[in-house]
Structure 1
Amino acid sequence: MNKSELRKLIRQQRRSLSKAQRHNASRGLLRQLRSTPEYLAAKRVAVYLTNDGEIDTQWLIQDLQQRCKEIYLPVLHPLRKGHLTFIRYQKNTVMSRNRFGISEPSFRHNKALSARFIRLICLPLVAFDERGNRLGMGGGFYDRTLAFTHKKGHLPLLVGCAYDFQRISILPAESWDIPLKLIATDTSLYRLLNVSTTG
């Protein structure tokens, strides 16, 4: 099965879940993340708003708000084509729809922050394997934005968020693909590398 066929299959599986299944999975994702010292210690956390049947982040966002973390959302960069930037998300944040119809903080009304200054970034995905390879929607936005993480040093912890059924035995990896260090699902936690717990 090629990447296109795999995307189609798993996206259909995600969208076929019932409301109750989505709700339970969202709570499960939060339980897995709260079991990690990296999540508890991080002061700045980037998370996506759920779209296209992705595992729901609503409980995660509520938990981050209760813990008084700084929450950031990905935004299509208006000047750097194919890249993302991150804008802080608060109750009064002015939102708009991007060209994909996804809600994001308005670039005009908010200050952007580079991914380099965020401690933990939660990424959506279509499929993953236990080596940390991630299959996204095919646009390459996260791979281009996070290309700097190929170099060693103090980096954001990249956490894939998914349903456990999105796990594939082996995914083909390209040289530009950004591997994940941690994958949290509704039922499991996959740790790929030893990472620092300082936030």
Structure 2
Amino acid sequence: MTPQLVTPRQKIRQQIRLQRQQLLPEQQRHASLQLLKQVQQCEQFIARQHIALYLTNDGEISTQPIIDWLWQSGKSVYLPVLHPFSKGHLLFLHYTPSTPMRKNRYQILEPTLDVRAVKPVNELDIICTPLVAFDNSGQRLGMGGGYYDRTLSQWHQHKQGPYPLGLAHDCQYVEQLPSEQWDVPLPKIITPSKIHCW
């Protein structure tokens, strides 16, 4: 059996995931509160009503302070759910403090599937995407499943649909990522120290 070659994308993915996993709980807490301050100044969050987020996993910066603030502001929050029939695709379900939750096949919490809570993607205002790394042109490196690239394909091709926005720790920035033609660059990525725009 021949050993698998590690691609540059896989190497970056491993390095950045390790960096963010090594952040101490206090650093994580501080970063998530600084991220909230940046989000509260972001025009998209102020002006829009239907916002898709995700629950934190694998050392990602915590989205919980943002979710709490959006609820307090009377905005609607949605979470991704792995599509049960369409492999590699996501559904977005309305999320409230009382939403029943379950773990998906990646061991990430998601709302229990209820068709009454599904929001069509084209009716969302913003989709906040998780990412492993990002670069100086808004390229995003995800976990490799392509879920968000598929979800944002209409934005990528026609600038239609919900506004895509990345959330990340400052340590997830790299100068230049190797990209593929299916990658969807983001117009805005928010970190604890800055709102990056392209």
Cα gap change, 1:166/1:131 in structure 2, threshold over 3 Å: closer, same or farther? same
1:115 & 1:28 partners in 2: Cα distance?
28
- 1:49–1:57 Cα contact (<8 Å) kept: yes
1:69 & 1:91 partners in 2: Cα distance?
13
Q: How many residues align?
A: 192
Does 2:105 correspond to 1:102?
no
1:135 & 1:159 partners in 2: Cα distance?
13
Aligned equivalent of 2:163: 157
1:37 & 1:150 partners in 2: Cα distance?
21
Q: What TM-score, normalized by structure 2, do the two folds share?
A: 0.93
Structure 1's consecutive aligned runs of 4 or more residues displaced over 2 angstroms after TM superposition are: 108-111, 150-155
Aligned equivalent of 2:197: 191
- 1:123–1:160 Cα contact (<8 Å) kept: yes
* Counterpart amino acid of residue 166 in structure 1: Q
Aligned equivalent of 1:82: 88
Question: How far has the Cα of 1:109 moved from its partner?
Answer: 6.5
* Counterpart amino acid of residue 64 in structure 2: Q
Aligned equivalent of 2:15: 9
2:159 & 2:144 partners in 1: Cα distance?
27
Aligned equivalent of 1:66: 72
Does 2:110 correspond to 1:114?
no
Instruction: Tell me the percent identity.
Output: 44
Aligned alpha-carbon RMSD (Å): 1.3
Question: How far has the Cα of 1:94 moved from its partner?
Answer: 1.3
Does 2:58 correspond to 1:52?
yes
Aligned equivalent of 2:36: 30
- 2:164–2:188 Cα contact (<8 Å) kept: yes
- 2:188–2:195 Cα contact (<8 Å) kept: yes
Question: How far has the Cα of 1:92 moved from its partner?
Answer: 1.5
Which blocks of at least 5 consecutive residues in structure 2 are unaligned? 1-6
Which blocks of at least 5 consecutive residues in structure 1 are unaligned? 193-199
TM-superposition CA deviations, 1:138-195 (whole Å, max 9, x none): 1111111221212335431111100111111111221111111110001111011xxx
* Counterpart amino acid of residue 179 in structure 1: P
